[in-house]
């Protein structure tokens, strides 16, 4: 992973000199390419915030968030004074709260037995499968060996994460398309209390239920434990060979070894 000092310096160098804004997610990809190593979101936002604090860059909120090189006196906010802005959560910032929820409450509710495998993988920037909607934001795989019956049970979940403004029927179909490779599809929506987008919630719930897609509402990303499962997913009859090929591409060597040990009952 890239260190904070390198990321901060390179971010400043990569911003267009004419002040053209750059999307946060685009800047993160540019940084990884120029530094020739991954830039995790925590380091990225620390570097960005350090430049904001110095007044050398400005920011545009919403639609994924953008930053730009501040011209003289241009670092002043264009927002009306005396009114507090609501905190903006671009998708990159929502990834960490989602992982914490999956590792915490979601895992607990699965009630997996001892000596079973539980693996989470960020697949949001991974390649490997071509085609529209073939890349979930997270996958989660569990495996356990039966005590009395022969064989083992492997379940693969996919999670499609959307911001407050990204909740739509189209997003549900995106989550559904990802079950071409998985057993369970989930749509995770950051929907704060009092959001204007709450007007769409009933329709989203109905469509998730119709298509067997799980719906997780993220009310407050600063408190991942408050995520709420509104719709439980239904298991898809995805072929074992398809699941196997998907995991072969998406999991690390260490994760694949853990999975195989669980299937063999050797954890």
**pLDDT for residue 220:** 93
Q: 165-217, pLDDT tens digit by residue?
A: 889 999 999 999 999 999 999 999 999 998 999 999 999 999 999 999 999 99
Given the DSSP bridges, would you call strands 214-218 and 184-190 parallel, antiparallel or unpaired?
parallel
pLDDT one-digit tens code per residue, 66-111? 888 875 433 343 444 444 455 678 888 999 999 999 999 999 999 8
Tens digits of residue pLDDT in 142-178: 999 888 788 889 999 999 999 998 899 999 999 999 9
H/E run at residue 119:
strand 117-122
The whole-number average pLDDT for the span 211-233 is 94
Predicted local distance difference test score (pLDDT) of residue 74: 38
Q: Are strands 214-218 and 152-162 parallel, antiparallel or unpaired?
A: unpaired
Q: What is the pLDDT of residue 217?
A: 96
The arithmetic mean of pLDDT across residues 219-247, rounded, is: 94
Place of tokens 């999991």: 251
Measured in whole angstroms, how far is the alpha carbon of residue 191 from the centre of its chain?
15
Closest CA to 88 of 48, 38, 39: 48
| Sheet containing 184-190: order of strands | 117-122, 138-145, 152-162, 184-190, 214-218, 228-231
* Confidence band for 37, pLDDT divided at 50, 70 and 90: confident
Tell me the HSE value of 58 on the side-chain side, using a 13 A CA sphere.
Answer: 19
Q: Which domains does the chain have, with CATH numbers?
A: 4-69 (1.10.10.10), 91-263 (3.40.1350)
Distance, C-alpha 232 to centroid of its chain: 19
- What's this model's pTM, rounded to 2 decimal places? 0.67
Give the pLDDT score at 255: 95
Mean pLDDT of 11-32: 84
- What is d(CA 234, CA 107) in angstroms, rounded to the nearest whole number? 17
Dump pLDDT digits (tens) for 109-138: 998 888 899 999 999 876 555 545 568 999
């Amino acid at each position: 992973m890239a260190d904070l000092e390198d990321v901060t310096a390179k971010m400043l160098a990569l911003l267009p000199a004419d002040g053209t804004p750059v999307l946060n997610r685009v800047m993160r990809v540019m940084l990884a390419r120029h530094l020739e190593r991954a830039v995790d979101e925590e380091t990225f936002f620390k570097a960005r915030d350090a430049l904001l604090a110095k007044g050398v860059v400005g920011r545009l909120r919403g639609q994924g968030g953008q930053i730009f090189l501040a011209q003289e006196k241009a670092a002043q906010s264009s927002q009306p004074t005396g009114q507090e802005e609501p905190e903006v959560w671009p998708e990159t910032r929502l990834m960490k709260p989602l992982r914490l929820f999956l590792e915490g409450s979601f895992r607990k509710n699965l009630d997996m037995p001892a000596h079973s495998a539980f693996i989470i993988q960020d697949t949001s920037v991974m390649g490997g499968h071509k085609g529209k909607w073939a890349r979930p934001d997270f996958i989660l795989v569990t495996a356990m060996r039966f005590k009395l019956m022969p064989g083992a049970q492997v379940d693969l979940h996919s999670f499609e994460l959307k911001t407050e403004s990204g909740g739509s029927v189209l997003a549900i179909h995106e989550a559904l398309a990802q079950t071409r490779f998985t057993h369970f599809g989930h749509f995770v929506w950051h929907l704060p209390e009092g959001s204007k987008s709450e007007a769409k919630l009933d329709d989203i719930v109905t469509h998730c239920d119709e298509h067997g897609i799980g719906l997780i509402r993220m009310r407050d990303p600063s408190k991942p434990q408050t995520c709420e499962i509104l719709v439980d997913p239904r298991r898809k009859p995805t072929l074992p060979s398809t699941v196997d090929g998907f995991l072969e591409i998406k999991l690390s060597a260490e994760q694949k070894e853990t999975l195989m040990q669980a299937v063999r009952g050797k954890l």
